[in-house]
Amino acid sequence: MYKAAIIGCGRIAGLNDDPNSDSISTHAKAYRNNDRTNLVCAADVDQERLGRFGSIWSVEKLYLDYRDMLSGERPDIVSICTSNSAHYDILKYIAVTGGTRLVFCEKPMTLSVEQAEEIVRLYSEKNILLAVNHTRQWEPGHERIKEFIKQGGIGKIQKVTCYYYKGIVHNGVHLLDYLLDVLGKPRSAHVLGTMEEPDEDMTLDAFLVFDEGVSCYIIGLDKQYYDVFEMDFMGTEGRIRIDDFGQIFRYWNREQNPLAGGDIELIEKPLGFESEYRYAMSYTVRNLVEALDGKGKLKCDGGKALEVLKIVLWLKSLVSSNFKSNYDLEG
């Protein structure tokens, strides 16, 4: 059994989950529900939050300093669930001190390309596995949607529209990660507007053109009103929409409507499978265990996260460079 530890005991670490519910959406619950992992310890600088986390998940070994935890407990797996700005220092400390076999870091991996490149290199040199939580890489339904689109399920893609909130770096990485897999790399982009966010992030609107000329609108909304995350793929033969943060899939097929004079319309049809996003973290930890066992590759490793981060930070950089640019495919 692999010993797991969590650094940063906030919402995604475990406070967003109920041990008695049937969803598995946090690190703590995913470790608790996998028979190959044991959550043995946790660390957080906030003593009240740390105590609450320990009480909910029955974790007795609690530390205010993650360095003390790592040296005292020697976990096999470490989840990093701290604020974005703390990721780099923790990732580097783990690599330099050694002893950990796999690190599962919340997105974004770091806040700069240079830091991310350094971390990816260090982890490769130290032979430490590095996974980054681009959640949709692990959820089976999202994988099936990718294949459905690539196999022509909605024909040739005409346009894509996406909605997100709370920062292009913090949450936009999920959009760009998925769009890269479906559409390829962007050719060019035009930033249309911005809103400032914490950690020097920003929620921006952008128009991107991807490989084969597919255009995509990314629209950022203000979190103070509500949370939203949606993707809408419009093809020549149909439409796929991913709603409610990935928990609902909807599909329309191009058909003739005899009640409308034979006009061609989009008619909603059953897709044949559903999202398992509520259990995505269980699939993630299963993949981590497979990688540790040498029986599979990580579905989102440091290299993949670095590729996405480069594009996200390129979009952010356009705000200070006339809002428009072509993308360097070698960058």
- 82 lies in a domain? yes
Residues 69 and 104 in one domain: yes
Residue 211 scores a pLDDT above 90: no
Q: Could you report the per-residue pLDDT of 216-257, keeping only the tens digit for each?
A: 999 999 999 999 999 999 999 999 999 999 999 999 999 988
- 162 lies in a domain? yes
Angstrom distance (rounded) from CA 256 to CA 157:
20
Please report, for the domain that includes residue 49, its CATH number: 3.40.50.720
Pairing type for strands 129-132 and 248-257 reads unpaired
pLDDT at position 327 is 65
- 331 lies in a domain? no
How big is the CA angle at 129 (ends 164 and 35), to the nearest 5 degrees?
Answer: 85
pLDDT at position 256 is 87
pLDDT at position 257 is 81
Q: What DSSP state is assigned to residue 45?
A: S
- 68 lies in a domain? yes
Residues 175 and 318 in one domain: yes
- 147 lies in a domain? yes
Residues 218 and 292 in one domain: no
Q: Could you report the per-residue pLDDT of 57-89, keeping only the tens digit for each?
A: 999 999 999 999 999 999 999 999 999 999 999
Residue 101 scores a pLDDT above 60: yes
Angstrom CA distances, 144 to 94, 182, 227, 271, stand at 35, 11, 25, 10
- 48 lies in a domain? yes
- The span from the first CA to the last CA of the chain, in angstroms, equals 40
Across 221-230, b (16+ Cβ under 10 Å) vs e yields: beeeeeebbb
- 260 lies in a domain? yes
pLDDT average, residue stretch 149-177: 97
HSE-up of residue 8 (Cα within 13 Å, Cβ side): 20
How big is the CA angle at 320 (ends 306 and 199), to the nearest 5 degrees?
Answer: 55
Residues 182 and 268 in one domain: yes
Domain residues for 216?
137-276+309-326
Residues 153 and 141 in one domain: yes
Residues 129 and 179 in one domain: no
**Total of domains in the chain:** 2
pLDDT at position 323 is 62
Q: Partners of 191 in the beta sheet?
A: 206
Residues 107 and 206 in one domain: no
- 144 lies in a domain? yes
Please report, for the domain that includes residue 165, its CATH number: 3.30.360.10
The residues, any chain, with a CB within 8 Å of residue 195's CB and separated by 6 or more, are 202, 203, 204, 220, 222
State the pTM of this model: 0.94
pLDDT at position 74 is 97
Residues 254 and 141 in one domain: yes
Residue 263 scores a pLDDT above 80: yes
pLDDT average, residue stretch 186-195: 93
pLDDT at position 331 is 46
Angstrom distance (rounded) from CA 214 to CA 200:
30
Residue 329 scores a pLDDT above 60: no
Residues 294 and 228 in one domain: no
Across 159-182, b (16+ Cβ under 10 Å) vs e yields: ebebbbbbbbbbbbbbbbbbbbbb
Q: What DSSP state is assigned to residue 106?
A: P
Residues 239 and 287 in one domain: no
Residues 190 and 322 in one domain: yes
Residues 191 and 253 in one domain: yes
